Amino acid sequence: MRKWTICSFLLLLCLLFLLPDQGRNLHANAEADSDAPVDPPKVEEKIGAVPHGLSTDSDVVKREAESMSRKSLRSSAEKFEFQAEVSRLMDIIINSLYSNKDIFLRELISNASDALDKIRFLSLTDKEILGEGDDAKLEIQIKLDKEKKILSIRDRGIGMTKEDLIKNLGTIAKSGTSAFVEKMQTSGDLNLIGQFGVGFYSVYLVADYVEVISKHNDDKQHVWESKADGAFAISEDTWNEPLGRGTEIRLHLREEAQEYLEEHKLKELVKKYSEFINFPIHLWATKEVEEEVPAEEDDASDDEDNVKKTTSEWELLNDVKAIWLRSPREVTDEEYTKFYHSLAKDFGEEKPMTWSHFNAEGDVEFKAVLFVPPKAPHDLYESYYNANKSNLKLYVRRVFISDEFDELLPKYLNFLLGLVDSDTLPLNVSREMLQQHSSLKTIKKKLIRKALDMIRKLAEEDPDESSDTDKKEVEESGDSNEKKGQYAKFWNEFGKSIKLGIIEDATNRNRLAKLLRFETTKSDGKLTSLDKYIARMKSGQKDIFYITGTSKEQLENSPFLENLKKKGYEVIFFTDPVDEYLMQYLMDYEDKKFQNVSKEGLKLGKESKLKQLKESFKELTKWWKGALASENVDDVKLSNRLADSPCVVVTSKYGWSSNMERIMQSQTLSDASKQAYMRGKRVLEINPRHPIIKELQARVAKDPEDESVKETAKLIYQTALMESGFVLNEPKDFASRIYSSVKKSLNISPDAAVEEEDDVEETETETETSSKETESSPKIEEEAVDEDVNDEL
């Protein structure tokens, strides 16, 4: 019995030694089959692991490599389909021939910075949210694995829950997705991807498989993975190192993207694109160092040997002090341009038009940098009054708070980009309470003034905007070529914003009016200003003359300008629909009133001759007003604005112009009853020197009841109505009068009738013929079938 016991014990010992080896062999065989789905390691294998992200422990690196070497979705993961718009976007990126693939790193670092901003803001009211140790370090880490061809970007930001991963990276397309796809199809410029909030997908420029590992304080750690083949998968992460909090993105690089595994390339990209990120960016860098090794004991010499050794450590890549904290004198133009590109997420070749960097002191202290972009955003005026589109980032004592503070700038300046850092605002309050803080009003007031000064200076430094004396000074400064035409470019991009500012901002209306630009009858196709217009005004001219319409070409031939041009007066052309609203608010400038030359009240110096003629035409004007009773004409008067035309229709001073009527009628939800109330009273002004008017005066004096004369008077009025820009209420009536006039000129009797078409019988015959053909067609078909059968037989 004792022998059997000893034998059994020895057999058990052998089995215990053999089983681990067999397990390891099975595990190795399973990993060798790369095509087969591999289940993630059990969580028990992680016991005792070091709890921080990009650990350099050799065992951890091995485990990470095992999990990352696969390029197929895990079999145990929950599968999802990308939303159609996201799939479309990814197809465009993957198949793009866009040469600048570097942008992917810029977008990932920018997203990491945003995540860090969010957790830092939340920590202002909840300090425990950051955790302890490495988790409390707000930083970005970049690490590469040349052997596995994997590039990793890690942040200790807010992280994402499982729902966040689904929402942000797959199923729900943000509003920018469609806009970006549309922009790509028209311009093909992938460089703007960050402006549309879909920068993450740029990873597929360089990677064919992507893993996103994320841990949010409110959820477990999850892994999002996709090969960009229309699907993605999410699973609970039980095999990677616990992140603590934050997100790590692993890019399995394509063969043609191996350059991004070079440290010097990554350093170059961070320097170029992410130099002004407000969090430290570290790269796990290797370097060779020389170590002194003591000589061996049997070596007679006292010299020590130097041996080269490769070491790795985290290297800080962005140690530049924040631009807004530096003195403006210390910052170069190149640095301002780089900072603008970083803010705008636009890394094209164009520089910002201008910028302003200043420190505000007093009761409210803050530092700010404002930029005018080279181009207007694609959606600048879409949903202008409904959308929140602030482009200013608000910092409080170097802590990012928000980029959605509408209280910092009015809507009409929402095209400006920049940053405000206040030392006065409180840190540890909610965003809602901060919006109500009294200091914000003071900050807003100073920002508006600085912004308008910046734009005014842009105009003053433009040689095209300067007078001859000022032009010499600008040219002597040496910047004339670079600044030439800059204000015209600004006006073409953002002029509508200045006009909206005049409408909305009564306090700064005069400052904004100085920035207005327009063409006139004397500007030779160039833009001019109100100050220049006033400098050119004729002596005795009290009003600033302007006219509104659809185009400059149409206005140049307007009958309203005939006498004004003849007498040498300058008239402003307003051709933008918003100009009609603008001139309802801009009533005067530098003590000069504005006068629409298509409305009543136009005065052109002394008009004594017109007063003398008024009495002699009194009978005609009275008769004509009666003849137009059905046309809703308020009055008929002699005109001081006509030179070559017989007459023109003007509106009352405070009613709508013909251009405004047309604009309002084109509105989708316009109210006809309100339009009738706002429509200006129409006045027919006649030219007493015109032969048509003189002949009509003679005919009326001879026989005021002559119906043909009345019809002629109505036809003249309707023609003038059209020439003055109005839409005829009854075009059929106008056409009938034209045809009657044509008949008369051709000596055709007014009673001549149109010949009737004599084709009734022919129509009936055609009908009978067609019916017979229809009846005979079946017989023809039957005969054709019989012939086919006979042929086959």
Cβ atoms < 10 Å from Cβ of 572: 25
CA angle 522, 526, 527 (to 5 degrees): 95
543-548/392-396 β-pairing: unpaired
SS3 track for 81-140: ECCHHHHHHHHHHHCCCCCCCCHHHHHHHHHHHHHHHHHHHHHCCCHHHHCCHHHHCCCE
Instruction: Name beta bridge partners: 289.
Output: 309
Side chain identity at residue 133, one-letter code: G
348 labelled ligand-binding: no
518 labelled ligand-binding: no
200 labelled ligand-binding: yes
107 labelled ligand-binding: yes
Side chain identity at residue 220, one-letter code: K
Residue 223, Cβ density class (10 Å: 0-12 exposed, 13-18 middle, ≥19 buried): buried
Buried (b) or exposed (e) across 471-483, using 16+ Cβ within 10 A? Answer: eeebeeeeebeeb
Q: Following DSSP, what letter does each residue of 186-204 receive, concatenated?
A: HH--GGGGGGGT-GGGGGG
Question: What's the first-to-final CA gap in the chain, in angstroms?
Answer: 103
Residue 422, Cβ density class (10 Å: 0-12 exposed, 13-18 middle, ≥19 buried): buried
150-155/140-145 β-pairing: antiparallel
- How far is it, in rounded angstroms, from Cα 386 to Cα 390? 12
740 labelled ligand-binding: no
131 labelled ligand-binding: no
210 labelled ligand-binding: no
792 labelled ligand-binding: no
Contacts of 737 (CB under 8 A, 6+ apart): 711, 714, 715, 718
From residue 200, how far is each of 36, 140, 166, 205 by CA, in Å? 29, 16, 14, 11
340 membership: H or E segment, kind and range: helix 333-344
80 membership: H or E segment, kind and range: strand 78-81
781 labelled ligand-binding: no
246-253/281-293 β-pairing: unpaired
- How far is it, in rounded angstroms, from Cα 139 to Cα 155? 6
Cβ atoms < 10 Å from Cβ of 325: 10
675 labelled ligand-binding: no
Q: How many CA atoms lie within 13 Å of 402's alpha carbon, on the beta-carbon side?
A: 18
Cβ atoms < 10 Å from Cβ of 672: 8
- How far is it, in rounded angstroms, from Cα 317 to Cα 300? 46
Contacts of 288 (CB under 8 A, 6+ apart): 308, 309, 310, 311
Q: How many CA atoms lie within 13 Å of 17's alpha carbon, on the beta-carbon side?
A: 6
Spatial contact of 135 and 245, defined as CB atoms under 8 Å apart: yes
Phi-psi region of 514 (alpha: psi -120 to 50; beta: other; left: phi over 0): alpha
347 labelled ligand-binding: no
Cβ atoms < 10 Å from Cβ of 107: 20
Spatial contact of 429 and 455, defined as CB atoms under 8 Å apart: no
What is the phi/psi pair of residue 542, to 5°? -100, -25
Spatial contact of 416 and 356, defined as CB atoms under 8 Å apart: no
3-state secondary structure of 492: helix
- How far is it, in rounded angstroms, from Cα 591 to Cα 587? 10
540 labelled ligand-binding: no
From residue 325, how far is each of 337, 444, 681 by CA, in Å? 16, 20, 60
Q: Which residues are annotated as a binding site?
A: 107, 111, 155, 160, 168, 174-176, 195-200, 247, 431
Q: Which residues are annotated as a binding site for ATP?
A: 107, 111, 155, 160, 168, 174-176, 195-200, 247, 431
